[in-house]
Amino acid sequence: MSRILVTGAAGFIGSHTVELLLQEGHEVLGVDNFRTGREANLQTFLTHPRFRFLRGDVAEPGELASLSTGFRPDAIIHLAAMVSVPESIAHPAENHRLNFLATTLVADVALAAGARRIVFASSAAVYGTNDALPLSEDATCQPLSPYGEAKLQSEHHLLHAAREHGLTVRCQRYFNVFGPRQDPSSAYSGVISRFHDALTLGRTPTIHGDGEQTRDFIYVGDVARANLLAATMPRVQSGTANICTGHSVSLNQLLTAMAQAAGKTCQPLYGPARAGDIRQSLGSPARAKLELSFQPATSLDAGLATLFAR
Ligand code: UD2
């Protein structure tokens, strides 16, 4: 059993990760300030005997240190973040605070508390436009957004701390994560949650651009397992790995598949393409398989079926 501190525990990926850690017998301290996380996401495990939740802002200097006093984590899984690319363009200073400065504070807490491992929620957004598909971790990183920049800077900061202090740091470059509990309520929300909302409420979904942009969608349960492995697998070395499936679909194909899963027909509205939007995104899952023995188990169709069955 490990003691694991999870930031962003009430978020979409955070709550699935905590749930799996508890199922696997670990002790978890979850922290979240409910900026985008939700209390409802904690419901299924809030009273679990090996779970404790504390409300707090990881980006506020000193706050995580005081919240986690006495917990002595073996590992920290740092998922708290501003998750939206367009929001980072609209609010670059806040992006810097939440997606970079907070990471440095988490590294400080890990060192002070004696944690041996940090798992960091990085992103495919670090690559920016790159035609060398599928993207391997050695591909050139040229982020198109403040979001991607901050994630890349955070990776560098943590890997530097790992070298300096002998920690193990795993940077998980998530591609497009989808599944239950993804909040559809903002224009910045993940596209599958937006399309799901539109299809179930009988509204017209909007496609930004021509819909031929592609994404590698990975199911949140698989991402939670990748986090579990990165945090707890013995003899793991520091490094960076894509958390992806190695398959991509266009948004037009996605919407057709989702309409089918919902048993509906659907004509979207096409709007202007988003600033900072990556055209093609497809990752190579080879390194995560090699270094973490991680392979996604849920196909896009199976994940969509779960979403529509709820
Ligand atoms: C996702 C992640 C981001 C980062 C990135 C990695 C979310 C919310 N964002 O950004 O954190 O990890 O992947 O590359 O998960 N779109 C529509 N209609 C809509 C909403 C979106 O057409 O109603 C388009 C959007 O313009 C983009 C695609 O769908 O081309 C995916 O958008 P997204 O916001 O789900 O995710 P992305 O790839 O910007």
Ligand 1 pocket at CB < 6 A: 83-85, 123-125, 174, 176-177, 189-191, 194, 206-208, 213, 215, 251, 274, 277-278, 281
Q: How far is the CA of 47 from the centre of ligand 1 (A)?
A: 33
Ligand 1 atom 19 nearest Cα? 191
Residue 190 lies in a domain: no
Domain limits for position 229: 3-178+218-246+282-297
Q: How far is the CA of 299 from the centre of ligand 1 (A)?
A: 19
CA 173/CA 147 separation, integer angstroms: 13
At 117 the pLDDT is 98
Q: Which two tokens stand for residue 118?
A: 């940090």
Q: To test the ligand 1 pocket, which listed residue (82, 204, 208) has its Cβ within 8 A of the most ligand atoms?
A: 208
CA 80/CA 110 separation, integer angstroms: 15
Q: How many domains does the chain have?
A: 1
CA 1/CA 24 separation, integer angstroms: 8
147, 174, 188, 219: which one is catalytic? 147
| Annotated catalytic residue 147 | yes
At 226 the pLDDT is 98
Q: How far is the CA of 125 from the centre of ligand 1 (A)?
A: 10
Residue 275 lies in a domain: no
**Beta bridge partners of residue 217, listed in sequence order:** 176
Among 153, 186, 150, 156, which Cα is nearest to 169's?
156
Residue 251 lies in a domain: no
Residue 62 lies in a domain: yes
At 278 the pLDDT is 85
At residue 276 the predicted structure's pLDDT band, cuts being 50, 70 and 90, is confident
pTM, full prediction: 0.97
pLDDT digits (tens, 9 = 90+) for 182-237: 999 887 889 999 999 999 999 999 999 999 999 999 999 999 999 999 999 999 99
pLDDT digits (tens, 9 = 90+) for 111-170: 999 999 999 999 999 999 888 999 999 999 999 999 999 999 999 999 999 999 999 999
Ligand 1 atom 25 nearest Cα? 208
Residues 6+ apart with CB under 8 A from 33: 55, 56, 57, 58, 80
Identify the sign of the CA torsion 220, 225, 226, 230.
Answer: positive
Residue 100, domain CATH: 3.40.50.720
Q: How far is the CA of 188 from the centre of ligand 1 (A)?
A: 8
